[in-house]
Structure 1
Amino acid sequence: MKFTVDPGAIEQESMAIIEKNVPSLALLPAREQSIVKRIIHTTGDFNIAPLVKIHPQAVERGLAAIHRGCTIFTDVNMVLAGLNNKKLTEFGVQAICRIADPSVAAEATRTGQTRAMVTMRQAGALQGDIVVIGNAPTALFTLCAMIEQGEADPALVIGTPVGFVGASESKELLVSLNKVPYITVQGTRGGSTIAASIVNALLYM
């Protein structure tokens, strides 16, 4: 069996297949197309395209934050592991995940919160930064509360927590706030790989 081994050719062919099978992508602005194609490429699922919801200012605000050398806060290390380190370094962007910090674990035990909730609270005002939540609905619920209460003002929230308990609801809450630009995937689908793919799509721009 013959198969393609050139990474560039594989990606180019993959994107062509995506465009052929999801013609509705042509209706989106070019940069939003890039994000949705990355998500489809990551999941291998054409049907996820209509579930992707992108705030009108999301791309602009995200790119501006990256060019400023913002900090990217992630809820879990799996998101962190999926980010393109070469691009992060190129733009002077620091990516952080504190889920495994002993102080986070201690605070979670003391308060009865999840560690993901504690990491959001400990992140501070997040002024002009990008928050990427790919796993924990409790992190997104907490961040939404911080935004609503004026305690946090990130440049962009990428919220794609996955699962059957709270994931869909947390993303609905993010969209309903309409106080910060967001990129999300509606419903129960999501995950760390999708969250990382969205960040990388922005970095590649």
Structure 2
Amino acid sequence: MKEYIKEPQLIEKRSFEIITEELGEKINNFKEEELPIVKRVIHTTADFEYADLIKFMNNPIEEGKKAIEKGCKIYCDTNMIVNGLSKNILKKFNCTPYCFVSDEAVAKESKERGVTRSIVGIEKAGKDRETKIFLLGNAPTALFRLKEMIENNEIEKPALVVGAPVGFVGASESKKVFKDLNIPYITIDGRKGGSTVTVSILHGILYQLYKREGF
């Protein structure tokens, strides 16, 4: 049998070497602090189109770092995002990710109002002043509603919004209209995105603040 790499650190190291090689001149399209995020998204998806689709607006990395270093809550529109984030590292910065989509009261209210759980969940999260970062990788309705809340002064200006909902109904549109706001924002243009992409974006910021052992 042909030998293969078994150590996780070496696998990741070699993966990022390949990504760097294949990105080629596109590396020059990004700032130094943006490039680790772009590479991590590609590492997660094996899709180099993300280098063309990802957008950084209004100093999102700097503002995201500040919020993490001060300690904050991070609202996620899926439990998959919550489960995918590095809790041990976030805990070192006194940051807590959470999600309301599976909350019984949220489910009941969404049914009564005839709206998505994501809308009710983000409304509830918006009332929490400790929530400074919003990670939206699934629900366009959450991103649309967050925009409305910001415009109507129902919520304090977030430190960072990662808007990467995936899908065919409202995903592209929600990401596009949110750009109108002067909010630190990282997004994926078009239909692509998802929970794993959203996790990789925050990790791309987080690992600039915390050096993992063995990497």
Q: Match of 2:126, SS?
A: coil
The alpha carbon displacement at 1:201 in A equals 1.2
The answer on whether the counterparts of 2:139 and 2:171 sit within 8 Å (CA) in structure 1 is yes
Query: Deviation digits for residues 81-133 of structure 1, max 9, x if unmatched?
Result: 11011111111101111111111011101111100000011112455600000
Residue 107 (str. 1) matches residue 109 (str. 2): yes
Q: Give the aligned partner of residue 158 of structure 1.
A: 162
Shift of 1:195: 0.4
TM-aligned CA deviation for residue 25 of structure 1:
1.7
In the alignment, is the contact (CA less than 8 A) between 1:126 and 1:154 conserved in 2? no
Give CA deviations for 1:137-169 in whole Å, capped at 9, x if unaligned.
111111111111122221100010000000000
Preserved contact between residue 58 and residue 183 of structure 2 (Cα < 8 Å):
no
Deviations 1:40-76 (A, max 9, x none): 0000011221100011410000000000101100011
RMSD over aligned Cα, in angstroms?
Answer: 1.2
Structure 2 residue 170 is the aligned partner of structure 1 residue 169: no
TM-score (norm 1): 0.96
| TM-score normalised over the length of structure 2 | 0.91
| Structure 1 moving runs of 4+ over 2 Å | 124-128
2:118–2:139 CA contact under 8 A, matched in 1? yes
Q: 1:124 to 1:56 in 2, by over 3 A?
A: closer
Q: Which runs of 5 or more structure 1 residues have no equivalent in the other structure?
A: none
Distance 1:65 1:95 in 2: 13
What is the distance in 2 between the residues matched to 1:69 and 1:104? Answer: 26
What are the within-5 Å matches in structure 2 for residues 176-187 of structure 1? Answer: 176-177=180-181, 179-187=182-190
Residue 207 of structure 2 corresponds to: 204
Structure 2 vs 1, CA of residues 156 and 171 (structure 1 numbering), >3 Å: closer, same or farther? same
Q: For residue 49 of structure 1, what is the amino acid of its counterpart?
A: A
Query: Percent same amino acid at aligned positions?
Result: 44
Structure 1 distance, partners of 2:40, 2:108, is 37
